[in-house]
Amino acid sequence: MKMNKWILAGTALTGLFAAHGAFAQSTGTEAAEDVKEVVVQGKRGPRSIDGALTKESVGKSRSTVTQEYLETQASGQTVLQSINLVPGVNFTNNDAYGTSGGNIRIRGFDGNRISLTFDGAPLNDTGNYAIYSNQQLDSELIETVAVNLGTTDVDSPTASAAGGTVAYKTIRPSKDFGIDSTLSVGTENFRRAFVKVDTGEFLGFTAWVAASKTQYDKFKGPGQLEKTQYNGRIYRDLGNGDFLSLAANWNENRNTNYRNITINDLKTNPDLDYDLTCASTALPTPVNGTAQNAGSGCTNYYGQRNNPSNTGSVRGQFKKHITDSLVFTFDPSFQYVLANGGTQFEVVSEKDNRLDLDGTNTTGVGVDLNGDKDTLDSVMLFRPSNTNTRRFGLTSSLIWDLNDDHRLRGAYTIDYGRHRQTGEFSYMDASGNPVDLFGGKDGNGPAVVDVKGNKLQNRNRFSIAKLEQIAAEYRGYFFDRALMVNLGVRAPVLTRELNNYCYQPNGGDFPRCTAETPTVVAGGAGNVTFPTTGTTKHVPPISFTKEYKKTLPNVGVTWNFTDIQSLYVSYAEQISAPRTDNLYKYSRADTAGSPLITSIAEPETTQSFDFGYRYQSSNILLSAALWTSKFQNRIVQTYDPETLLNTDRNVGEVEMSGFDGQIGWQVADYFSVYASASYNKSELKEDLQLSATTFLPTKGKTLVETPEWTYSGRFQWEVTPVFQLGVQAKYVGERFTTDVNDEVAPAYTVFDMDMNYKISAFGKPGTELQLNVINMFDETYLGSLGSANNALPVTLNNGTVRNGSTTTHSRGAPRTLMLSLKTKF
Strands 645-668 and 378-382: unpaired
Which parts of 84-173 are beta strand (E)?
89-93, 102-106, 109-110, 115-118, 121-122, 142-149, 164-170
* Cβ pair 505, 513 in contact under 8 A: no
User: Which of 656, 734, 652, 744 lies closest to 699, judged by CA?
Assistant: 652
User: Which of 85, 86, 51 lies closest to 65, judged by CA?
Assistant: 51
**Which amino acid is it at 751?**
F
C-alpha distances (whole Å) from 486 to each of 153, 163, 570 are 11, 20, 9
Task: Select the more confidently predicted residue: 270 or 652.
Answer: 270
Where residue 342 falls among pLDDT bands split at 50, 70, 90?
Answer: low
pLDDT for residue 20: 36
Going by C-beta distance under 8 Å and a sequence separation of 6 or more, which residues neighbour residue 64? 23, 48, 54, 56, 144, 145, 146, 147
DSSP secondary structure, 512-536, as one string: B---SPPEEPTTBS--EE-GGGTT-
* Cβ pair 154, 165 in contact under 8 A: no
How many helices (H) and strands (E) the chain has is answered by 8, 45
Where residue 688 falls among pLDDT bands split at 50, 70, 90?
Answer: confident
Q: What share of the chain is helix, strand, coil (3-state, %, to 5)?
A: 10, 50, 40
User: Which of 505, 338, 508, 302 lies closest to 424, judged by CA?
Assistant: 338
The phi, psi pair for 580, rounded to 5°, reads -55, -45
Beta bridge partners of 464: 418, 497
- Greatest Cα pair distance, the chain, in angstroms, is 93
Q: What is the dihedral of CA 238, 243, 246, 251, to 10 degrees?
A: 140
* Cβ pair 343, 304 in contact under 8 A: yes
Taking 80 as the threshold, does the pLDDT of residue 763 lie above it? no
Q: What angle do CA 673, 678, 680 make, to 5 degrees?
A: 175
Give the pLDDT confidence of 627-644 residue by residue, as tens digits. Answer: 999 988 776 655 444 444
C-alpha distances (whole Å) from 200 to each of 181, 197, 666 are 17, 9, 35
Taking 50 as the threshold, does the pLDDT of residue 37 lie above it? no
Q: Cα(216)–Cα(76) distance, rounded to whole angstroms?
A: 12
Strands 164-170 and 115-118: parallel
Where residue 66 falls among pLDDT bands split at 50, 70, 90?
Answer: very high
Q: Cα(299)–Cα(204) distance, rounded to whole angstroms?
A: 58
* Cβ pair 672, 50 in contact under 8 A: yes
Give the pLDDT confidence of 225-260 residue by residue, as tens digits. Answer: 999 999 999 999 999 999 999 999 999 999 999 999
Q: Cα(757)–Cα(720) distance, rounded to whole angstroms?
A: 9
Give the pLDDT confidence of 418-429 residue by residue, as tens digits. Answer: 999 999 999 999
Give the pLDDT confidence of 104-134 residue by residue, as tens digits. Answer: 999 988 888 888 999 989 999 998 888 999 9
Q: What angle do CA 71, 75, 78 make, to 5 degrees?
A: 90
Sign of CA dihedral 25, 30, 31, 32: positive
Burial of 720 (0-12, 13-18, 19+ CB in 10 A): exposed
Beta bridge partners of 771: 755, 819
Where residue 3 falls among pLDDT bands split at 50, 70, 90?
Answer: very low
Where residue 649 falls among pLDDT bands split at 50, 70, 90?
Answer: low
Where residue 783 falls among pLDDT bands split at 50, 70, 90?
Answer: very high
Q: Cα(213)–Cα(211) distance, rounded to whole angstroms?
A: 7
Q: Mean pLDDT throughout 86-103?
A: 93
Where residue 578 falls among pLDDT bands split at 50, 70, 90?
Answer: confident
Strand (E) or helix (H) holding 504: strand 504-505
* Cβ pair 94, 109 in contact under 8 A: no
Q: In whole numbers, what is the pLDDT of the chain averaged over residues? A: 89
Instruction: Enumerate the domain spans of the chain.
Output: 2-170, 177-284+296-824
* Cβ pair 225, 215 in contact under 8 A: yes
Task: Select the more confidently predicted residue: 155 or 679.
Answer: 679
pLDDT for residue 764: 67
* Cβ pair 556, 610 in contact under 8 A: no
HEC profile of 734-774: CEECECCCCCEECCEEEEEEEEEEEEEECCEEEEEEEEEEE
Sign of CA dihedral 298, 299, 303, 306: positive
pLDDT for residue 665: 95
Q: Cα(590)–Cα(595) distance, rounded to whole angstroms?
A: 10
Strand (E) or helix (H) holding 385: none
Q: Cα(689)–Cα(711) distance, rounded to whole angstroms?
A: 35
pLDDT for residue 50: 87
One CATH from 3.60.15.10, 2.60.40.2700, 3.40.50.720, 2.40.170.20 for 177-284+296-824: 2.40.170.20
Taking 70 as the threshold, does the pLDDT of residue 761 lie above it? no
* Cβ pair 260, 786 in contact under 8 A: yes
Q: In the chain, pLDDT over 90 holds for what percent of residues?
A: 70
Q: What angle do CA 208, 210, 215 make, to 5 degrees?
A: 170
Give the pLDDT confidence of 126-167 residue by residue, as tens digits. Answer: 988 889 999 999 999 999 999 998 888 888 888 887 778 999
Taking 90 as the threshold, does the pLDDT of residue 189 lie above it? yes
* Cβ pair 649, 805 in contact under 8 A: no
The phi, psi pair for 385, rounded to 5°, reads -130, 85
* Cβ pair 490, 156 in contact under 8 A: yes
**Which amino acid is it at 582?**
N
User: Which of 526, 517, 504, 505 lies closest to 460, judged by CA?
Assistant: 504
Q: Cα(768)–Cα(75) distance, rounded to whole angstroms?
A: 13
- HSE-up of 561 (CA within 13 Å, CB side)? 7
Q: Cα(732)–Cα(90) distance, rounded to whole angstroms?
A: 8
- CATH code for residues 2-170: 2.170.130.10
Q: Mean pLDDT throughout 454-472?
A: 94
Q: In the chain, pLDDT over 70 holds for what percent of residues?
A: 92
Give the pLDDT confidence of 362-382 residue by residue, as tens digits. Answer: 557 889 999 999 999 999 999
For the ranges 181-195, 529-543, 676-690, 759-773, the one whose mean pLDDT is highest: 181-195
Q: Cα(408)–Cα(401) distance, rounded to whole angstroms?
A: 6
Task: Select the more confidently predicted residue: 402 or 361.
Answer: 402
Same-fold call for 2-170 versus 177-284+296-824: no
Going by C-beta distance under 8 Å and a sequence separation of 6 or more, which residues neighbour residue 463? 126, 127, 418, 419, 420, 421, 496, 497, 498, 499, 580
Provide the 10 A C-beta neighbour count for residue 283: 21
Give the pLDDT confidence of 530-570 residue by residue, as tens digits. Answer: 887 788 899 999 999 999 999 999 999 999 999 999 999 99
* Cβ pair 242, 326 in contact under 8 A: no
What is the strand order of the sheet 115-118 is part of? Answer: 62-66, 142-149, 164-170, 115-118, 121-122
pLDDT for residue 634: 73
Q: What angle do CA 484, 490, 496 make, to 5 degrees?
A: 160
pLDDT for residue 16: 26
Where residue 754 falls among pLDDT bands split at 50, 70, 90?
Answer: very high
* Cβ pair 702, 694 in contact under 8 A: no
Q: Cα(285)–Cα(304) distance, rounded to whole angstroms?
A: 19
DSSP secondary structure, 249-280, as one string: EEEEEEEEPPPPB-HHHHHH-TT---BSS--G
